[in-house]
């Protein structure tokens, strides 16, 4: 195809070529590793294939006693993923075939050589993980020592290995102080076998010495026996452990509610004080008004109180002395003072109407 563009200045062309897309083909599939229950394959597509990219691989497998592929088991891998096939039966012979798939479709299946699975045995060797979850195999790096960021402990982590037909019961961890003398590693001060539950894939080694190289061994155990040991050498850090910054504690919801309630109460108190001084209103003004009213009523009751005429005997006055009448006095009638006395009491003193103090601190 040719795409042509034209304007007043000229013409330009762009040729386009379309290729017919086809399904991909697999050139070869080989067994890379095998256990009693798992197989890892290596798949190679045809080198001359230049069509659309491969999206996935599909493998079909069946026991040798089954003749029809219609009932075969299927498993699909994404392109570039590890090509593992699991949950196979120990000591069973399988037939395999594989096909590649792209956007056009699935290619033809390539028959692969049949494979007999090993018998049940001890678990496969565990794979110890180092930084960034990379598997560590000391047989490939005999003199490599992994630095630990801590001076007194190290966390050992690993991947779950194949159980080779028998479930893994637990893991065994053992570590020793190791030194390299005359080009060879020598172990000393080894620990006992430490048993770790199969539910975990990590174990923390505590109470280690700072700036010391340790060799750590890890084994998987099933009913048949122990796997071969996975090993790693670790050097602890010098001095104290690195300081890990503490995270600031977050404010709880209860504390936030308490702060909000306290702020609301403070605002109400300030508003009430402002209303009291400006308009004589509010709770404070109401309390002060009730107190003043009560004092005024008490004063009014005291000021309107009048005491009854006091009996002479209650005024603590001396008793009258009876004198014998003289001759002249007998001819004249006795003059009686008919003047009445009104007494008022203010709570402390008794007053007469004329203002004369009759008694002090009287009970009247």
pLDDT in tens, 109-164: 999 989 999 999 999 999 999 875 455 555 555 678 889 899 999 999 999 998 98
Check residue 362 and give its pLDDT: 47
| Residue 219: C-alpha distances to residues 24, 34, 39, 182, 293 (Å) | 43, 19, 21, 29, 93
Same domain flag for 141 and 231: yes
Q: Which of 64-68, 214-218, 303-307, 339-343 has the lowest mean pLDDT?
A: 303-307
CATH code, domain with 33: 2.60.40.10
Residue 305's φ and ψ, nearest 5 degrees, are -85, 130
Name, of 181-190, 273-282, 324-333, 339-348, the range with top average pLDDT: 181-190
| Joined tokens for residue 259 | 């702060």
Residue at which a domain ends, from 235, 270, 299: 235
Q: Is the pLDDT assigned to residue 214 strictly greater than 70?
A: yes
Identify which of 215, 205, 206 has the alpha carbon closest to the alpha carbon of residue 180.
215
Same domain flag for 149 and 76: no
Using an 8 Å Cβ cutoff, are 7 and 21 in contact?
A: no
Show the domain range for 210: 127-235
Q: How many CB atoms lie within 10 A of CB 283?
A: 13
Check residue 136 and give its pLDDT: 56
Residue at which a domain ends, from 235, 251, 280: 235
Total number of domains constituting the chain: 2
**Each residue of 21-42: b (16+ CB within 10 Å) or e?**
eebbbbeebeeeebbbbbbebe
Using an 8 Å Cβ cutoff, are 350 and 310 in contact?
A: yes
| Joined tokens for residue 181 | 């003398």
Check residue 278 and give its pLDDT: 79
User: Pick the residue with more confidence: 225 or 331?
Assistant: 225
Q: Quick one: how far is CA 270 from the chain centroid?
A: 40
Using an 8 Å Cβ cutoff, are 97 and 109 in contact?
A: yes
**Mean pLDDT for the chain?**
80
Same domain flag for 177 and 142: yes
User: Is 75 domain-assigned?
Assistant: yes
Check residue 297 and give its pLDDT: 63
DSSP annotation string for 53-103:
PP-EEEEEEEETT---GGG-EEEEEETTS-EEE--PPTT-EEEEEEEEE-S
Q: Is the pLDDT assigned to residue 43 strictly greater than 80?
A: yes
The pLDDT > 70 percentage for the chain reads 72
């Amino acid at each position: 195809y040719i795409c042509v563009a034209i304007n007043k200045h000229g013409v330009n062309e762009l040729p386009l070529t379309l290729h017919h897309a086809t399904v991909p083909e697999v050139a070869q599939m080989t067994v890379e590793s095998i256990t009693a229950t798992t197989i890892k394959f290596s798949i190679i597509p045809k080198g001359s294939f230049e069509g659309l990219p491969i999206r996935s691989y599909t493998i079909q497998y069946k026991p040798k006693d089954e003749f029809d592929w219609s009932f075969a088991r299927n498993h699909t891998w994404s392109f570039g993923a590890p090509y593992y096939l699991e949950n196979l039966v120990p000591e069973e012979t399988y037939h395999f075939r594989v096909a590649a798939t792209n956007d056009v479709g699935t290619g033809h299946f390539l028959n692969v050589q049949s494979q007999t699975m090993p018998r049940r045995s001890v678990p496969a060797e565990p794979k110890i993980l180092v930084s960034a979850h990379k598997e560590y195999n000391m047989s490939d790096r005999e003199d490599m020592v992994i630095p630990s960021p801590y001076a007194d402990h190290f966390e050992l982590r690993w991947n779950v290995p194949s159980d080779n037909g028998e479930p893994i019961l637990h893991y065994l961890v053992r570590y020793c102080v190791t030194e390299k003398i005359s080009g060879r590693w020598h172990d000393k001060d080894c620990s006992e076998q430490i048993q770790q539950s199969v539910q975990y894939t990590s174990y923390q080694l505590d109470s280690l010495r700072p700036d010391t190289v340790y060799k750590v061994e890890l084994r998987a155990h099933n009913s048949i026996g122990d796997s071969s040991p996975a090993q790693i050498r670790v050097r602890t850090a010098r001095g104290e452990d690195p300081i890990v910054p503490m995270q600031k504690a977050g404010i709880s919801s209860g504390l936030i509610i308490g702060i909000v309630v306290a702020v609301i109460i403070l605002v109400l108190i300030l508003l009430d004080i402002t209303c009291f001084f400006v308009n004589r209103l509010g709770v404070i003004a109401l309390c002060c008004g009730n107190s003043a009213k009560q004092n005024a009523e008490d004063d009014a009751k005291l000021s309107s109180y009048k005491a009854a005429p006091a009996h002479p005997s209650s005024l603590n006055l001396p008793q009258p002395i009876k004198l014998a009448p003289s001759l002249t006095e007998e001819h004249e009638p006795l003059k009686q003072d008919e003047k009445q006395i009104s007494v008022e009491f203010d709570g402390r003193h008794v007053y007469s109407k004329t203002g004369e103090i009759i008694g002090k601190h009287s009970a009247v």
